[in-house]
Amino acid sequence: MTHTDLRRIIALLAALCTGALLAAERVSIPAGEYRPLFASATAAKQQVAGFQLDRLPVSNQQFATFVSKAVRWQPERINPLFADEHYLQHWQKNATTVAAPRPEELQAPVTNVSWFAAKAYCQAQGGRLPTTAEWEYVASAGSVDPQADEKLILGWYSATTPAFMPAAGQRAANAFGVHDLHGLIWEWTQDFSASMTTGESRGDSALDNQFFCGSAAAGSADPSQYAAFMRYALRSSLQGRYTVANLGFRCAYSPSSLNAIETTP
Amino acid sequence: MKLRTLALASLLVCGIASGATAATTSAAASSGALPTDSLYHSETHWQDMNNQSVLLPTLQGKVQLVAFVYTHCVSMCPVIVADLQRVEAMLTDTERQQVHFTLISLDPERDLPETMLAFMQTHKLDTEHWQFMRGNDDDTRELAMLFNIRYRQEGEEIVHSNTISVLDGSGRLIHQRLGAGGLDAVMTAIRQQLRH
């Protein structure tokens, strides 16, 4: 082993360390309540228990570190059950034909990831995906300037996705100390599919009415929550295999008796 | 020498800094031979009514009938279970030895192993041909997605798809019954598999 090799290894280790340290940046979110979109103003608020959430969305670099160990999630090996054909398509193939993120996108949020891949990443970190309730609860906390928040959100929702995704963490954190819930990417939630209408439950027709009839505005807790409606609509249109150029994720952590089910071998 | 020490030091630091990154252990040992479209590729962890740990590749070999239910369910689940029992009753003794019934809980929080076992006893589901299992929220959601099952909590109830799925011996989804009825088609799907 030459000194150059050693230096390379050290540089790599340092890079890995940085990634690992960043990954450990979790924000403790206190328990609270939030009113789900389309719950009428008289409906009970949804309780959210205390949990931890990544301060930033998961970056390309962090995800690359993960797939270097969990090879089944590499774009070359992914099973089509778990991701569509656009999975990690923004990564570049190098000489060894293994795709890796572009250097300028290492700190940018990873996108083009399926729900299954996002879930696997979070489980490998000892976490899970946040529920829609948790995500919306944290995202409902604005910064110091609610009007600027709304402007940012709606401005971004109507913008096109940039050619290169900017790095995460450049905007101010929200009141919880969490960054980039708005304005950079959409994010997967654990139960995104729960918002789908199944067309076979008694509750659905009412929900549909709330959505698509004139009663929508009347029934909704806050008619100005257009942004939340956009997120709801996106979640309803997704499937677990789908990958989208501006859809990424972050992980949540909470001590749950079910996160590690004890069994007798 | 110095460099080596440094490398070692950074290794140690890394080890401390990276916390718990779980090694990607998998059921790969037994999932290597699975066809690409086998749902048993899902690396989810389950706990059955006897408190035993279950990995999906271990379900290989028999035709599996799968349904997502929960024990506190009053409306749809008893009907789904009754339909599965009707299927079981239609099987010949020989066929029955090659078919297995798996119930998956949509309410893992409340469906403890003993709760699942009591449910099986109440409905007279013998543990040789039937199993009932639960996983954590993430894993339950994953498997439901692979089966195209949608569900959500609505107050005390869980609204969910009323579906019976048939998997072949290697975990490929070969038939789904959506909604009521359709047991003849389920039987046909099972018998086609058993003739293979």
The 10s digit of each residue's pLDDT in A102-124 is: 999 999 999 999 999 999 999 99
A179 contacts A169 by C-beta, under 8 angstroms: yes
More confident residue, A12 or B132: B132
DSSP one-letter string for A71-117: GGGSTTT--TTT--TTTTTTSEE-TTS-EE--GGGTTSBP-S--HHH
Can you tell me the distance from the alpha carbon of A91 to that of A76, in angstroms, rounded to the nearest whole number? 11
Task: Report the residue of chain A nearest B163, measured CA to CA.
Answer: A200
The 10s digit of each residue's pLDDT in A135-145 is: 988 887 765 56
Angle between the N-to-C axes of helices A226-237 and A146-157, in degrees from 0 to 180, rounded to the nearest 10: 40
E-state strands within chain A: 26-29, 32-34, 46-48, 51-54, 92-93, 99-100, 186-187, 247-248, 252-253
Can you tell me the distance from the alpha carbon of B51 to that of A133, in angstroms, rounded to the nearest whole number? 30
Backbone torsion region of residue B112, taken as left when φ is above 0, otherwise alpha when ψ lies between -120 and 50, otherwise beta = beta
pLDDT at position A4 is 52
Q: Sign of torsion, CA A250 A253 A259 A260?
A: positive
Predicted confidence band at A232 (pLDDT cuts at 50, 70, 90)?
confident
Query: Cβ of B137 and A123 within 8 Å?
Result: no
More confident residue, A80 or B77: A80
Q: Is the pLDDT of residue A133 over 70?
A: yes
For residue A206, what are its two tokens?
């009412």
pLDDT at position A8 is 52
Contacts 24+ apart (CB under 8 A), A225-231: A225/A37, A226/A154, A227/A150, A227/A153, A227/A154, A227/A157, A227/A182, A228/A37, A228/A136, A229/A37, A230/A157, A231/A136, A231/A186
Query: Cβ of A264 and B4 within 8 Å?
Result: no
Q: Which of A99-108, A175-184, B98-107 has the lowest mean pLDDT?
A: A175-184
> Between B11, B136, B161, which is nearest A13 by CB?
B11
For the ranges A4-8, A83-87, A146-150, the one whose mean pLDDT is highest: A83-87
Q: How many residues does chain B have?
A: 196
Can you tell me the distance from the alpha carbon of B46 to that of B143, in angstroms, rounded to the nearest whole number? 11
How many A/B residue pairs have CB atoms within 8 Å? 136
For residue B15, what are its two tokens?
């080890």
DSSP one-letter string for B80-126: HHHHHHHHHHHS-HHHHTTEEEEEEES-TTT--HHHHHHHHHHTT--
Can you tell me the distance from the alpha carbon of B189 to that of B180, in angstroms, rounded to the nearest whole number? 17
More confident residue, A259 or A169: A169
The amino acid occupying position B30 is S
Task: Report the residue of chain B nearest A43, measured CA to CA.
Answer: B155
pLDDT at position B85 is 97
pTM: 0.79
Can you tell me the distance from the alpha carbon of B173 to that of B59, in angstroms, rounded to the nearest whole number? 13
> Between B108, B145, B179, which is nearest A193 by CB?
B145
- % of chain B beyond a pLDDT of 90: 68
Backbone torsion region of residue B13, taken as left when φ is above 0, otherwise alpha when ψ lies between -120 and 50, otherwise beta = alpha
pLDDT at position B104 is 97
Query: Cβ of B141 and A190 within 8 Å?
Result: yes
Predicted confidence band at A17 (pLDDT cuts at 50, 70, 90)?
very low
Q: Is the pLDDT of residue A155 over 90?
A: no
Residue keyed to tokens 């690359």: A64
- To test the contact with chain B by mutation, choose from A18, A74, A201, A239 the residue with the greatest count of B C-beta atoms within 10 A, namely A201
User: Smallest Cα–Cα separation from A247: which of A176, A172, A189, A170?
Assistant: A189
The CA distance from B47 to the nearest CA of chain A, in Å, is 7
Count other C-beta atoms under 10 Å from residue A162's C-beta: 11
More confident residue, B159 or A256: B159
> Between A79, A193, A198, which is nearest B159 by CB?
A198
The CA distance from B131 to the nearest CA of chain A, in Å, is 15
pLDDT at position A42 is 61
> Between B18, B53, B145, which is nearest A240 by CB?
B145
Alpha helices in chain B (DSSP H): 2-17, 28-31, 77-90, 93-96, 113-122, 137-146, 183-195
A130 contacts A48 by C-beta, under 8 angstroms: no
pLDDT at position A9 is 52
Predicted confidence band at A129 (pLDDT cuts at 50, 70, 90)?
very high
The CA distance from A124 to the nearest CA of chain B, in Å, is 5
Q: Is the pLDDT of residue B23 over 60?
A: no
Q: Is the pLDDT of residue A262 over 70?
A: no
Element spanning B37, H or E: none
pLDDT at position A257 is 45
